[in-house]
Amino acid sequence: MAKQGQEIKKESLFKKIRKNKIPYLFISPFFILFAIFLLYPTAYSFYLSFFKWNGTGPKLYVGLLNYINLFANRPFKQSLMNGVIIFLEYVPSMTLLALILASLLNSKYLKLQGVFRTFIFLPYVTATVAVAFSFQLLLDKKYGLANLFLGFFGTEPIGWLNTPNLARICLSSLVTWRWLGYNMVILLAGLQNIPLELYEAAKIDGATPTQSFFRITLPLMKPMLLFCILLSTVGTFSLFEEPYILFLPSRGAGPMDATLTPVVYLYQTGFRYLHFGSASSIAYALFIILFLASLFEIKILGEKK
């Protein structure tokens, strides 16, 4: 009986599609592209994660071995650790800074808002090769501007890019510099959706600007902030371009693998070492970790119902 019911249901769905075939035809390009370029690779890499494969030869089924090996894999564990450290180094400060800048740019007292907005957003659209070269110029131990400046105060030259902790801080700064504008734009959009009447009412009730920031802006911006933090979490563990260009000689790994992010390691494992099975298992392990982290963040920061 149940089976029959399902068949009827299926048929009716099919009928529905047939009845509305023109609209479905119009939206089909997205789904076709989605299936080819996202769904298929995603499913295929899941399949691959149970095999040993060098990219062209025969695939050797190894069961869960790729996943088990990850537990003992030094660079993978190091990359997760790096993700956590880099996240703590830049996400809270960058998000706060983005919110402050967005509030400033949203205030009607500031002139030349468009100019400032453009300048803050500019790093996001700057060519990465130019960025890498500038940061290397800035941070070089002997010829860098940073050490030249510190030298005026008698500081010994610092090997910014050549020691693990400083390398991570440099990377965090580069990421902040590059992504601040992007986050600011998202938050600015959120700010502009807050009705002005709320502030007027607060003002009439005698609230100071600080009070209205903490009592009105912050609570109403919570969903937007959550969105930014979620994106930054995924973004931190998936950092690729920034470490790769800043630490080119080590292909993004940095001193003692200090800037090796999970995605840089995934790339190296796949495309440099040709272990596509392990690379796929890294992708899925990372997916699970990020999924749990996001759930945790939603639970902590999300709206209580």
Partner 1 sequence: MRRMRMLVLTVVIASLLVVASMGSAFAQETTVTVWAWQFPADCAQASMERFNALYPDINVEWEIMGPGDVYDNLLLALSAGEGAPDAVCLESSHLAQYVALGGLLDITDRALPYYDKMETAKWVEARDEQGRIYAMPLDSGPVAIWYRRDIFGNAGFPSDPESVAELLDTWDDFYEVAKLVKERSGVYMFADPGSSDGRLFEMLLWQQEAGYVDRKGKVVIDSPKAVRTLEWLGKFHKEDLVQDTSPWTAGWYAGIDEGGVATIIEAVWMGGFLWSWITPGSAGNWGVVPLPVWEKDGVRSSNDGGSTYAITNQCPEEKIEAAWKFLEFFTADRQALVAGWRLLDNFPSLMECWTDPLVEEEVAFFGEQKYRKVFTEAAKKIPWWNYTKDYSEMNSIAQVYLTAYNLGDETDAQEALTQAAAEIRARTGRE
Q: Footprint of partner 1 on this chain (CB under 8 A)?
A: 54-57, 74, 133, 136-137, 140-144, 159, 161-164, 167, 247-251, 253-257, 268, 271-274
Return the amino acid letter for 101: L
109 SS3 class: coil
- CB of 283 vs partner 1, minimal distance in Å: 17
Name the residue nearer to partner 1 (CB basis): 123 or 159: 159
Residue 247 makes CB contacts below 8 A (sequence gap 6+) with 161, 167, 253, 254, 255, 259
Query: Within a 10 A sphere around the Cβ of 300, how many other Cβ atoms?
Result: 9
Of residues 39, 44, 37, the one with CA closest to residue 280? 44
Name the residue nearer to partner 1 (CB basis): 45 or 268: 268
Name the residue nearer to partner 1 (CB basis): 27 or 129: 129
> CB-hemisphere CA count at 13 Å for 263?
13
Name the residue nearer to partner 1 (CB basis): 83 or 254: 254
Check the CA dihedral 207-213-219-220 and report its sign. Answer: positive
Name the residue nearer to partner 1 (CB basis): 103 or 162: 162
Dist CA 276 CA 274 (whole Å): 6
Return the structure tokens found at 183.
């986050």
Of residues 116, 90, 91, 88, the one with CA closest to residue 103? 116
- CB of 85 vs partner 1, minimal distance in Å: 16
- CB of 16 vs partner 1, minimal distance in Å: 38
Name the residue nearer to partner 1 (CB basis): 136 or 173: 136
- CB of 168 vs partner 1, minimal distance in Å: 12
As a whole number of Å, the CA-based R_g of the chain is 25
E strand or H helix at 60: strand 60-61
- CB of 140 vs partner 1, minimal distance in Å: 3
Dist CA 118 CA 101 (whole Å): 12
Give 254: exposed, middle or buried? Use CB within 10 Å, 0-12, 13-18, 19+.
buried
> Which DSSP letter does residue 62 get?
-
- CB of 234 vs partner 1, minimal distance in Å: 24
> Which DSSP letter does residue 52 get?
E
Name the residue nearer to partner 1 (CB basis): 8 or 274: 274
- CB of 97 vs partner 1, minimal distance in Å: 28
Name the residue nearer to partner 1 (CB basis): 89 or 257: 257
- CB of 186 vs partner 1, minimal distance in Å: 32
